[in-house]
Amino acid sequence: MLSLEEVKLHLDAADQAHVLQFWSELNEAERDVFLQELSQLDVSGLRGHCEGAARAAASVAASLDDLMEPVPPEFIGSARKSDKTFLAHWENEGLLHISKNRVGVLLLAGGQGTRLGVQYPKGMYNVGLPSGKTLYQIQAERLHKIQELAEAKHGSKCIVPWYIMTSEFTLTPTEKFFKENNYFGLDPVNINMFEQRMIPAVTFDGKVILQGKGKIAMAPDGNGGLYQALVDNNVLEDMKKRGVEYLHVYCVDNILVKMADPVFIGFCVSKEADCGAKVVEKVSPTEPVGVVCRVQGVAQVVEYSEILQATAELRGPSGELVYSAGNICNHFFTRQFLQNLTMNNEKHLKEHVAIKKVPFVDKCGNEVKPTKPNGIKMEKFVFDVFPFSKSFVVFEVVREDEFSPLKNADGAATDSPSTARNALLHLHCRWAAAAGATVLDQDGNAVVLTASESTVINAPAKFEISPLVSYFGEDLEKLKGKTYHSPCVLDKEQ
């Protein structure tokens, strides 16, 4: 730990001496905690961080519209459009690598559930399924199942290690939750939880914001903080020791995520890709999702807010959107790519500006909750590494099968507990119908599916299939001819 004199020197050099303005008002215990926090801060890089944040917030992003082009078709696979023989080949290829312990999954779980209206990590959220399962439990059970499928296919017992990147806010409650739930039947030796870095929030004139008299306002460095966190926590070394060559990275809030999806893994490996992204087709030109494309020939995600409406509305000869590849924070990386990136390129990753309302203490030491944005939080995004890829690929998936994020509290039109819950129940009703089963809703009416759209016509029945029973709709032949009454949970022991 640095001494007070050393901290003062660093803060003076960074033009941030105000951070210690209330030092004389702190008791001994508060001083110890604050000094510990300041010692862990990258004080040597503080001036650059603060000045860079102020500059970035004041700058205007350059237009990319004239530099954009779609990813060429030869680098794209599709769950909808690719030949079924290719899909089967990719699935088998993925299962083979899983069976040989070459695949790991990494969960981005540093964010709090603030927009959801809860004070705990999103993974602990129960969206109201008949089973009452949380997102963490659903994901853990999918890991169980994919290991089981790989073993059944290739005859060798295997492990898919689960790396979970948390933040200062989410590490302790996540660790406690997993322990209380006996790690959902997984061996804790194969679950590696680690923290991303925290960085100071800054005022528009480049001053560190004090949240309290003895506390700096800190925020996680974005999901792109992953790459520094891999180094800080020796994650790549752990992967190497285990023989993990391929990593599937995903976001905690997608209730439909396929853990270590063998089709995606197999596609990327078959294409000899070092980096890959799953995408969904945008529902409209104005859907607020980033677009995976190329900028001056280099793979990139361009945010929806950075594209002119005329560009977003461009259509191809068949009427399809030219820029339709919606980013869903679902990625593939080789360990070698991550190794090279962290050694050579991490410091060159772009930083993004987030203008926020940041609680602070005023010059008199009074706590203030601002009513309008007063601060800058700088963050990196996980997709910022795409430009460093030498062989980047895209895999398009069906939104109704694989993407329903949980971001907002109930009552919101999209991305709420209700939409996430219904998406999963819709999917399970489709699986049951495809297997020849009849599902009745709570009024005793059969759930009807259209052949063309495969979507539920009437309100979805509360019919849930445990991931321990089926990973993506496979092995449900035993359902044929049976009738299930809502609410119903089909679990492994049934």
* pLDDT level of residue 458 (50, 70, 90 thresholds): low
Whole-angstrom distance, CA of residue 229 vs CA of residue 236: 10
**Per-residue pLDDT tens over the stretch 194-244:** 999 888 999 998 999 999 999 999 988 889 999 999 999 999 999 999 999
106-123 average pLDDT score: 88
**Per-residue pLDDT tens over the stretch 44-72:** 778 888 888 888 888 877 788 899 999 99
Whether the pLDDT of residue 457 is over 70: the answer is no
**3-state SS string over 63-94?**
CCHHHEECCCHHHEEECCCCCHHHHHHHHHHH
Domain range annotation of the chain: 4-58, 65-199+210-402, 432-490
* pLDDT level of residue 451 (50, 70, 90 thresholds): very low
**Per-residue pLDDT tens over the stretch 160-179:** 999 999 998 899 999 999 99
At residue 450, the pLDDT reads 58
Whether the pLDDT of residue 264 is over 70: the answer is yes
C-alpha closest to that of 476 among 461, 487, 492, 454: 492
**Per-residue pLDDT tens over the stretch 372-390:** 999 998 888 999 999 999 9
Whole-angstrom distance, CA of residue 3 vs CA of residue 9: 10
Whether the pLDDT of residue 475 is over 60: the answer is yes
At residue 454, the pLDDT reads 47
Whether the pLDDT of residue 25 is over 70: the answer is yes
Q: What percent of the chain stands above pLDDT 70?
A: 97
Yes or no: say if 403 and 280 are a contact pair by the CB < 8 Å rule: yes
457-471 average pLDDT score: 86
* pLDDT level of residue 2 (50, 70, 90 thresholds): confident
345-368 average pLDDT score: 87
* pLDDT level of residue 367 (50, 70, 90 thresholds): very high
* pLDDT level of residue 275 (50, 70, 90 thresholds): very high
**Per-residue pLDDT tens over the stretch 295-342:** 999 999 998 888 899 999 999 998 999 999 999 999 999 999 999 999
On the question of a common fold for 65-199+210-402 and 432-490, the answer reads no
Q: Comparing 474 with 412, which gets the higher pLDDT? A: 474
Query: 212-215: long-range contacts at Cβ-Cβ below 8 A with a sequence spacing of 24 or more?
Result: 212/361, 212/367, 213/22, 213/25, 213/26, 213/30, 213/361, 213/365, 214/22, 214/23, 214/26, 214/30, 214/31, 214/33, 214/34, 215/34, 215/37
* 432-490: in CATH 2.10.10.100: yes
Beta strands in 15-168 (DSSP E): 68-69, 76-78, 103-108, 162-166
Average pLDDT, the chain: 92
Whole-angstrom distance, CA of residue 101 vs CA of residue 382: 24
* CATH number of the structural domain 65-199+210-402: 3.90.550.10
Whether the pLDDT of residue 142 is over 50: the answer is yes
